[in-house]
Structure 1
Amino acid sequence: MDLGLSGRSVLVTGGASGIGRATVEAFLAEGAAVTVLDRAPKPEDLDVTWVRGDVTDEETVRSAIPRELDVVVGCAGISGPMGQDAREIGHADFTRTLEVNLTGQFLLAKHAAPVLAGSTAPAIVFVASDSGFVAAPGMAAYCASKGGVLMLTKALAVDFRSDGIRVNCVCPSIVDTPMARGDLGDAFDELDCPVLRPEDVARSILYLASPASRGVNGTAHVLDFGGLATSTFPA
């Protein structure tokens, strides 16, 4: 399938590693011109425009927006306090998690929208999580932030519809990334469940970002091997 992404101008946050890196490489393979906003330094092997900065800094986000833009992908995110009961989470840790995972996405969309409005097929794709639907112990901050991304996606799809800007999000379960391995440590290799690859998520992002999905707007695309569809009924 021709996704129609060749020559498109794309901005990806969090493109240095994990899902973001796989997404950048996938867009480059399609012939897109890519700009990356990330706190990490630019990898030497990526032929992209690199802006170094934090997605929670509004001026940095504003300055990273290219003059012409067709697609925005918000991949930047953090785990926040993991394995802590909600009663133990500090205010600063909770706030920082929401700032990166939710407010960062809002700032990205806010400042990209005026430029995206000039595209013939503008699209925004956020990386959310299945943790926006279901909760695991010790993940209150992360779950709250990703649940917020789900509703932000819907709200922006409504607000931006008059400019033809589609807004969707992908919601993967566990993905084999440096962040996930850092969170789980040795337990990662002992997981008794299917694990996604970053490339799996990137393919879904590219579809939602492309004209091939022009009728898809305000949705959450779940990649979890059917986990959310599985009943807990003991049968």
Structure 2
Amino acid sequence: MDLGFEGRVVLVTGAAGGIGRATARALAAEGCRLVLADLRRPDVDGLDPDRTLAVAADVTDETALAAAVGAAERRFGGLDAVVGCHGVSGPVGTPLDAVSADQWRRVLDVNATGTFLLLRAAAPLLRRGRDAVVVLVASDSALVAAPGMAPYCASKAAVLQLARAASVDLAPDVRVVAVCPSVVDTPMSRGDLGIDAGAGFDGAGFPVQRPEEVASAVAYLCSPRARAVNGTALLSDFGYGARSGFPA
């Protein structure tokens, strides 16, 4: 399917690795021009240097985000889409009453407030874009909870509801949607779950997605083909969220 992306300008945060890196490459393959942002300047090897700009930006820093958005306008003349792939997991495996206030703030600052700041910085330029859209990477943890992940679950639920609220506030100029994947094979998830980098998730006992699979969903949601999809989320969790834990 031709997704109708050719020439569109997309800002991707969290683009240095994992889902963000895979998303950048998926969008590049569709003909997008890219502004890639992360705490450290993302690697652009294998991407067209004439169609790619990499910048270092902390999503909790309003000035840095404004600079990233401004760079898109200066280099490519505008902005048509934003993909928010940034995120931290925080103290995984820590009971709520053992989570410090600083740990809580850090996760919420990056995942929730950083997403708000990204939306606010990009909105004026997106309003002038073509088929403008924002896709926010949330998590199935926005809808269900595992033990010891209270800050992460709360932050991703905030991202999901922010996508809904933003879709209302930015209508009709900008669509806003979210994706909610379950475990994805990334360095962050391997570290959180104590998975050996060499063995990967083989024998994990539950299905695991590849970053490229999430990137494919993001690419579709970004495209004009998905113009009717707005203010909602795509849950990709192999159907686990539909199952009851009760023995009846």
Same fold by TM-score, threshold 0.5 exceeded? yes
**Quick check: 124-133 or 43-52, which moved more?**
43-52
1:39 to 2:29 alignment? no
> Match of 2:23?
23
Structure 1 counterpart of 2:102: 92
- Pick from 155, 175, 185: which aligns with 1:176? 185
CA separation in 2, counterparts of 1:125 and 1:76?
12
- Equivalent residue, structure 1, for 2:236: 223
Match of 2:55, SS?
Answer: strand
Cα deviation for residue 5 of structure 1 reads 0.8
Letter in 2 for 1:39: L
Query: What is the aligned-residue identity percentage?
Result: 53
Q: Provide the residue aligned with 1:52 in structure 2.
A: 56
Please point out which of 46, 64, 81 is paired with 2:91.
81
Look up the match of 2:130: 120
Between stretches 23-32 and 224-233, larger displacement belongs to 224-233
1:167 aligns to what?
176
Please tell me the residue identity of whatever aligns with 1:32.
C
Gaps of at least 5 residues in structure 1 are none
Deviation larger for 184-193 or 36-45: 184-193
**C-alpha distance in 1, partners of 2:81/2:101?**
34
Whole-angstrom CA distance in 2 between matches of 1:41 and 1:51 = 5
Tell whether the 8 Å contact from 2:43 to 2:54 is kept in structure 1 after alignment: no
* 3-state SS, counterpart of residue 176 of structure 2: strand
Residue in 1 that maps onto 2:222? 209
What one-letter code is carried by the residue in structure 2 that aligns with 1:40? Answer: R
Structure 1 pair 26/44, CA: closer, same or farther in 2 (3 Å)?
closer
The structural deviation recorded for 1:185 is: 1.5
TM, length-normalised to structure 2 = 0.91
- 2:66 maps to a residue whose letter is R
Contact 2:180 2:234 in 1 (8 A): yes
State the AA in 2 paired with 1:178: P
* Kept in 1: contact 2:44–2:54 (CA 8 A): no
Asked whether the 8 Å contact 2:140–2:181 carries over to 1, the reply is: yes
Instruction: Say whether 1:185 aligns with 2:194.
Output: yes
The total of aligned residue pairs comes to 234
| Gap runs ≥5 in structure 2 | none
Distance 1:215 1:44, change over 3 A: closer
Select which of 128, 135, 151 maps to 1:141.
151
Provide Cα deviations, 1:167-211, integer angstroms capped at 9, x if missing partner: 000000000001001111237444211100001100110111110
Partner Cα separation in structure 1 for residue 44 and residue 66 of structure 2: 25
Displacement of 1:53 in angstroms is 1.9
